[in-house]
Each structure stands twice: as C-alpha cells, then as structure tokens.
Structure 1
C-alpha cells in the first residue's frame, strides 16, 4: 500500500474561506446529538468526523441506558479527540424533578463527562436553581452549556426572557446558550411548522443579545443549516446535527458545497 502520510491538500482547496479555525475552536462550533450509537459506530464517527466536531451530547436521558463501561469508553474516546461530551439537559431535568441532583453530579463526574447542559425544556426551573446548577458545573470543571426554549410544539421565543437568560447565564459561567429546536427542527423556536426559519424573529434575537457568539442554534435540517450559515456566516455555532451530516456541514462552512461556494470566493 502506498504511503500517503506526506500528502497534504493545498490549504485553498481544504478551506476556500481561509478562515476555519482548528480545534479548540472559539468560532463555528458544531454539536452532534448521539441518540444511541454503538461503540463501533461511535469509533467510525470520530475517525471520519472528529476533527470537525466540537461537542457531543448524549441525547435526552439516554446515559443510564448504556452499559456503564461502554458509556465510559465512548466518553474517553471523545475526550481523546478534544471533544466536549455531556448528557442531554432532559436528564438533568429528570434529576431535578426526582430530587436526585447530587447523585446526578456524582455519576457524570465519575464517568468522565466534560460538559453539562442546563435546560428547562420540559419542566420549570426557577432562576435561583438555574444559577446554582451553572455555578456547580463551573466549580466541578465542566464546560456549561445552557438552553433556552421549551420543547412543546409551537413554542416561541420571548425576547425579554431570552435577553435575561443569555445575560445571566453568561454572568454565572455558561459558555454557550443553546436555542431550542429539538431533533425535528419544526414548530419550535425560530422555525415554523415546516422547518423554515422565521427571519424576523431571528433578527430580533440578534439585535437583542450582546454577542452572536454566545448562541448555539439547534439546526438539525440541511435547509436550516444553509440558511443560518448564509445569514450569520460560516462561524455560527450549530447544534443537534445528526451524526451522518457532520462532514456535509463542514463542507458548507468551508464553501465546499454549491449552497455556500461564495464563502470561498467573495472579497472580504
């Protein structure tokens, strides 16, 4: 077999935009949701897409459904690739509802999780408790990602509430605030029942917050990813990306697909 270790793509071909950061990135982070990958599929995911992946969320409350050693192995594999890995916020909501927060933290730390998602997508979490959970995560050395928005069909963004949430979450140590869109991307947050972006609401949000880079937009559908990239640029943070779409999203970010080819050709 011919050795290809000396080969390297011309940078202008690998990234026509010339602006894609290498990991650890501060711009253009990609979060993937793992809804039950086996060990071999997870290994393949990291082998093909690990360099283009910044965060892996073990979706909703799936963490206790894995054999513990398999889950620990997946976490360690992700960490070795410089990927933040964390349980879905719904699992923490279960812990809140069942008054099992100490046990929740004990287990996720023992398993080696490196991130924490604090959300109130299903239950109500008062501001005081939200602050305490963010602080607890920071004190434990976890990367804290919070989430704004309810998971119910037709839920929308309340601007004043969003501004307060983003401002206070950041003050207490959250690195990113996720804008809820669920796994479907339809009828939630900035997306209508067909999954199309409500641009007026998007612009209202952007005008209201101190920095676009505080937000991670859940955008599971390709048309949503393309629209947000075209509207906000290739450095937007995107989440709830399916495992099979990471490479195609990275191609969009770099101007290596027809939808965003202009990223690599326009003058800055």
Structure 2
C-alpha cells in the first residue's frame, strides 16, 4: 500500500473531504516554525481546515508569510487571531490591520470581543468591513475573562446577531486553556450554554473551541464525528482525528453509534 494511502479494513464512520462544510478542524498555532508546519503537513494536511495564527503571533513572526504560503499550497485556510484585531481597534488602527492581513495573504479574520469591551455595534461593523474586503469571517463569542459569564439568552442573541451581520463561522469561546466561555474553571462544559447555542437556527455555523482531549471527546460523542472543533493544538491534530473515527477508547462507541454517513444514531 502506498505511504499516502490509508488502510480500509475497518468499517469507520464517514468523514467529509475538503473543502469541508462540517467536521471542521481549526488549529491554534502559538508560534510554530516553518519546519514545524512542514512536518505536520506531511502527516496531517488532509485533516486541517483552518489554521489560526494565535493572538498577535503573525505580527512578530517574520516567517509568517512563508508559513501562510505552505498552508495555502496544502489547501488550508489561514486566519488571524482575534486579539490582534481587538488591539488594533483599541488603537484606532483597524484599517491598517485589514491592510496587514491582506498583504500577508490571510484568507480569514477572527472578529472577537473577548479581551476588550468592543461595543456590539463596533463588532458588527468590523464583521461587515471584513466581509466587504473579501475575508471569510470567524466571529468569536464569549469572554476570556472567567468572571464575565453571559447567560444562555445572551449567547444566542450574540451568535445570531453576528451571523446575520455576515460571519461565516461563529466560534464558541474556550480559549487555549479550555477553562472559560463554554467551560467552567475545571474545564467542564456548561450544559445550559451548549444546549442553548445548539438550538439556534445558525447551529451549522458553530465551531466549538475544545483544546482539551476530554472536551473534544465529549463533543464528538454528543454530536458525532462531523462536529466543528477549534483551538486544536498543532501536535493534537492526528489524535483528534482518531477521536473522530472511534479509534481511541474515549470514542470507541462511535463505531456502533454512528452510521456510514457520519450521523449520530440515537438508540431507543
């Protein structure tokens, strides 16, 4: 069997192929080198959909353009970190930010208000401006501050408003720690929030930040292998795919509970 061809002797849940509309894997890059990127692409390019240059890393990394070129060649969309745009907004430099993102070759921008107090009308204006400039918008909802807890009604209101403003994806905050936003301080999912956002008419736009293995496994067991997951660390891409396919103890039951089209089967 050629090295690039995967085995087929197991009857596994179906996974959509790229370009995907479901089963998105969204990477958080906290400062990988070009050698790191080349290495992970050799084994995992087929599993990665969006590569986010976390926070302000693209601003200080002189190799960012080379990394973006590698990712584009592999069919992976590149995204700025939301914090960088928030800082640009604070300094009155949002147009300069968009020029920077375009010059670097980013496909997507993340619009967030989790680190600052951007008024909702300013956030919506940023979403609309990014769309007008041709960027695919990932709008993040939820605060990075663990003391700021939105109600389920506020979560749904924000995600629906952002989607109506033109966001392609709505990112549910979890941060790289997995202890804020959708999660409590111990990394456990806040079920009231999860149930509220997944009842929204824009549920197909949701990407759940899930940096911890237990969070990934829970969401896969709950929604099946085609759930959209974000803030996945670079070194965890392959292990996440084994979770999606029931090739790890945490999701082994998927082999019995998911049909060949990747849909979760609910047993009576």
Does 2:41 correspond to 1:51?
no
What is the match of residue 236 of structure 1?
227
Aligned pair partner of 1:194 in 181, 186, 193: 186
Say whether the 8 Å CA contact 1:181–1:218 is kept in structure 2. yes
How far the C-alpha of 1:63 sits from its partner, in A, is 1.4
Distance, in Å, in 2 between the alignment partners of 1:183 and 1:5 is 33
CA distance, structure 1, for counterparts of residue 43 and residue 4 of structure 2: 19
Q: Structure 1 residue 8: deviation in Å?
A: 5.1
Using a 3 Å threshold, how does the CA distance of structure 1 residues 149 and 7 change in structure 2: closer, same or farther?
closer
Partner of 1:172: 165
What is the 5 A alignment of 1:87-98?
A: 87-98=80-91
Give the Cα–Cα distance (whole angstroms) in 1 for the partners of residues 86 and 192 of structure 2: 31
Partner Cα distance (2:161, 2:189) in 1? 26
Conserved? CA contact 1:16–1:265, under 8 Å? no
Q: Point out the more displaced range, 106-115 or 194-203.
A: 194-203
Give the gaps of 5 or more residues in structure 1: none
| Contact persistence 2:197–2:203 (CA under 8 A) | no
Aligned with residue 196 of structure 2, among 200, 204, 207: 204
| Equivalence for 1:128 | 121
Secondary structure in structure 2 of the residue aligned to 1:241: strand
User: 1:90-169, aligned counterparts within 5 Å?
Assistant: 90-169=83-162
SS at match of 1:265: helix
Secondary structure of 1:129's counterpart equals helix
So what's the TM-score if we normalise by structure 1?
A: 0.91
Which of these residues, 33, 40, 57, is aligned with residue 35 of structure 2?
40
Q: In the aligned structure 1, how far is the partner of 2:85 from the partner of 2:6?
A: 44
Q: Does 1:217 align with 2:213?
A: no
Picking from 10, 16, 23, the partner of 2:12 is 16
Judging changes above 3 Å, is the alpha-carbon distance between structure 1 residues 216 and 7 closer, same or farther for their aligned structure 2 residues?
A: closer
**Aligned-pair CA distance for 1:143:** 1.1
- Give distance in 1, aligned partners of 2:100 and 2:152: 35
Which of the numbers 215, 218, 227 marks the counterpart of 1:227? 218
Residue correspondences, number: 259
Confirm or deny: 8 A CA contact 1:213 1:236 kept in the other structure: no
TM-score by length of 2: 0.91
Per-residue deviation at 1:6?
A: 8.8
Q: 1:47 to 1:128 in 2, by over 3 A?
A: same
Partner of 1:262: 253
